[in-house]
Structures are given as C-alpha cells and as structure tokens.
Amino acid sequence: MGKATGFMEYKRENGPVIPEEERTRGFREFHERLPLKEQQKQGARCMDCGVPFCQAGCMLAGMMSGCPLHNLVPELNDLVFRGCFEQAYERLSITHGFPEFTSRVCPALCEAACTCGLHTDPVSTKENEKAVTEYAFEHGLVKEEAPSVRTGKKIAVVGSGPSGLASAQLLNRRGHEVTVYERNDRIGGLLRYGIPNMKLDKSVIDRRVKMMEEAGVKFVVNANVGSDGISVEELQKKYDAVILACGASNPRDINAPGRDAKGIYFAVDFLKQVTKTLLDSDFKEVPYELAKDKDVVVIGGGDTGNDCVGSSIRLGAKSVTQLEMMPKPSAERLPGNSWPEWPRVLKTDYGQEEAIWKFGEDPRIYQTTVKEFIKDEEGNLKELVLVSLKSEKDEKTGRMQMIPVEGSEKTIPASLVLIAAGFLGSEKYVTDAFGVETDGRTNVKAVSGKHRTSVPGIYTAGDMHIGQSLVVRAIAEGRSAAREVDEDLMGYSNL
C-alpha cells in the first residue's frame, strides 16, 4: 500500500475552513479543499494495517463501526496517494452512488475506526473522498448512463431522501423503469430540507438529480402518497414493486405546561423554512424574521440541534442556548468505549464553534430539560423554566434514566424554541395507507434481514426501516433494498 511510512512522515492536515466571522454572514459551504498535491500526502498516511476496520460497517456496542457501504478505503487512499484520481473515483463508485453527499455530511465512521487513529490522528478519508469526487465532477468522469436494455418492470419509490435516491439509481441502471414520488416541492428529502445549505449546498443535489433524470429516472414532486392526490391502490396497480423510503419523519415532542405558546417549532420545520426561503429567492432573501434579536433555545444536542444553532446565528439571534439531557461526554475515550467502537466523546461542531465565537461561551447546558414554557398575555413565549437532571436506575426495568432534581429550577429568557429531540419513527398516515406492519418504535417491519414488508410487493428502506440514523446508512439501505427488489422481480440480481 502506497507509502509504507507515510503515517509517520505526514501529520493529518484538513482543508481550510472559512473563519466564523465571514461564514456566518451567509449560508454558503465553508469547508474548502486542500490542493491535490497536499491531499496526496493525506492519502499516504493510510498505513496498510492488514485488518481495515474502516470498511467493516458492523455494529459494535449498538453503534456502527466503519463504513456501512463497505467502501474499500485503503485502496481509495492508496490511489489518492499515487495521484490516480480517475481510478480512485472508479473504485469509489463501485460501492457508492453519492460520495458527494457523504463527503460533506457524514460523521466519518471510517475515520473513527481507523487503525492509525488508535494512537494518533486518523487518516482524513472523508476529505480524500471529497477531493476524488469533486475532481471527477470537474473532469466529466461522473456519469449516469441510461441502460441500453429495459426490463419492462416498473418500480415506484416513495420518498426522495438518500435511501430513496440510492434505490432509484441502482434500479434504473439495472433497466427497470423507476418513478420517485416526493411530497415536498423539491427532490432530496432530508438532504434538501433537513440539512442546512452551509453544510450541503443544494446545487450538489441538483446536479445529481439532473443526471438521474437524463438517465431515465422520473421524479414527481408535490405528491403526498397516502394522503392526497395519489392513492396507494393506484401505485400497487401501476407498479410491479413499491419501495417506501419516507424517513423517520415523526418528530419527538416536549410535553410540558405552556407547550401551546407561540414561538415553539420543531427543528425540521424551522430548517425547512429557512432553506425554502433561500431557494425560492435564489438566495436573495434571508428569513431574518425567524430569529433576529430573539433569545433562541434549542432542545437537543445532536446534529440537528447543532444545525439549528448555526442557522440561528446566521439569522441574527440575540442569544443561543442548547439544552442536552445527557451528561457532558468525556474529552477522551473511557475504558468501556474502546476502539474501534464509535467514540462517545465530546464533539464541538461548527454551530457550537460559531456560538463560542459570537457569544463567548459554549451554548450547551448538559443534564437539563424544560419544565415549563412561560407565555406573555398574548400567548407568546417569553421564558423557560429549566430543571436539572440526574441519572438514576429504574427499579422495575433496571435501566438508567434521567430524572428531575428537586429544587434545581431556574428561569431563562426565550422567545424562540426549536425542538430537536430526535424522531419517533415513520408517520402513521403513510403506514396506515399501505397497511404495513410496524414495530414498537413505529419503524416499518420487514422480513428479518430483508426489506420485504408484510404486504406483498411493498418494500422499505432507510430510516423508515431502521429508525433515525445517518445519511451513509440510508444510502446503504437503499442499495440493499434495490438489490432485493431486483432479485425478486428478475429471479437473480447483478446489482
């Protein structure tokens, strides 16, 4: 593999990041790339470890370790080191249909499981992937060619998020006629409206969708299947198979007194409104009225909560506070969280970095939740009563749970609350319309290890199947579902 001593000769170097003061003036991407010569050195750091956990994609201690797409990471890094960017893209595209998405938004499961990272900084595989992918786009190497032969089979994909797009891409390449239905006004699902533009520029989605359209995939927007316009019976009659890839789009609420106050929104609705305003106006209008001069409180410490922090700062928030129910993570791995498990360590993401720059302190308050929303005389939110939490074992279940600490209440100003407390699973109107069985978490049930649902001809993939997860896992789910559908329809599959 490449330069055998590269991991000892070169230090990890990331691409430059636009400073907070400049990047918070707009919603453009702010992670830039290294020159290709410098990126080659980063590829040289891959150490030919012999057992590449980076590409394992297996569950360890309930968390994914390594790439669920099983990208052949050492081979990719070796080709980057050698400057063979065309061959590197060919290698990557065998296992991955949308590296332009994951190289921007993936938390880099491959890097968390990198052997080099056991004692020093892991190989910058995510940035290597981005360099290869953007090189391929810039040099006309990325193609979505229409199949030379069609099978005569028709497939509907409901939902155009990462799993839906991944299914559609492979099934179209196989020669099936694929139609993707999306309830929103633009294609992309979570990629479009769940992730802010500064994290994933929407032109990146548009260029891929355009290529898929030219290759024969049909996209239908403003089509809320199961609710209005297009009936389930119509789909089942028209198509040989239907893949449900609607996501885990049922947000978890916060039930506390005063929840009906004006000024409380689910994070996904807030992020969608921001992005839609920007796209509808071609970035000429910014919805400052959503957060300008407001005391913003974000409930939830995950990626979506972080995105709300970053978006609120760009919209001119007066202050931003982020509440996290769980204790503050350790700065380093604890003994019970050994490599190559996903590291449960403190992570300061771009939104928190910007809040620290803007307000002088980390916006996160740990082991805290909302006890009461306080309204003014007109019903507008004005304050929150917070309460501290402590971990205690439930005597009945034996599980640890976070419970309120008596006498720990405190009141803070709040005129905008964004609930980013995760998702509960699929939306009931969709599962009811298709008549598919769900589990206790409202995820759609499938045959063990498969994507077939309880209804013949209906399949499921992505978050709707496995629950809220990562874009890279959704893509892997979509590709797996495509192969299963192809095999069932044709008797075999070469996907």
pLDDT tens per residue across span 355-389: 999 999 999 999 999 999 999 999 999 999 999 99
Q: Do domains 6-138 and 264-419 have the same CATH topology?
A: no
Contact predicate 159/189, CB 8 Å: yes
Please list the ranges in the chain whose pLDDT falls under 50.
none
Type and span of the H or E element at 64: strand 63-65
Res 4: pLDDT: 87
For residue 458, report the phi and psi dihedrals to the nearest 5 degrees: -110, 125
C-alpha to C-alpha distance for 302 and 322, rounded to whole angstroms: 10
The full set of domain ranges for the chain reads 6-138, 154-249+424-490, 264-419
Token output for 332: 């380093």
Token output for 334: 């604890």
Contact predicate 69/155, CB 8 Å: no
Which sign, positive or negative, has the C-alpha torsion 106, 111, 113, 118? negative
Length of the chain: 495
Amino acid code (one letter) for 46: C
Residue 393 to residues 367, 388, 390, 419: CA-CA distances in angstroms? 16, 17, 10, 26
Residue 353 to residues 75, 220, 270, 349, 432: CA-CA distances in angstroms? 34, 39, 21, 6, 43
pLDDT tens for 306-330 read: 999 999 999 999 999 999 999 999 9
Topology given in CATH for the domain delimited by 264-419: FAD/NAD(P)-binding domain (3.50.50)
For residue 82, report the phi and psi dihedrals to the nearest 5 degrees: -80, -5
Res 483: pLDDT: 98
Locus of tokens 């990146």:
204
Res 329: pLDDT: 96
Type and span of the H or E element at 270: helix 267-280
Res 309: pLDDT: 98
Token output for 224: 């809320």
Res 3: pLDDT: 85
Res 1: pLDDT: 62
**What pTM was computed for the model?**
0.96
Query: What DSSP designation does 68 have?
Result: T
For residue 85, report the phi and psi dihedrals to the nearest 5 degrees: -70, -30
CATH architecture assignment, domain 154-249+424-490: 3-Layer(bba) Sandwich (3.50)
Res 481: pLDDT: 98
Res 125: pLDDT: 97
Res 342: pLDDT: 95
CATH for 6-138? 1.10.1060.10
Res 369: pLDDT: 97
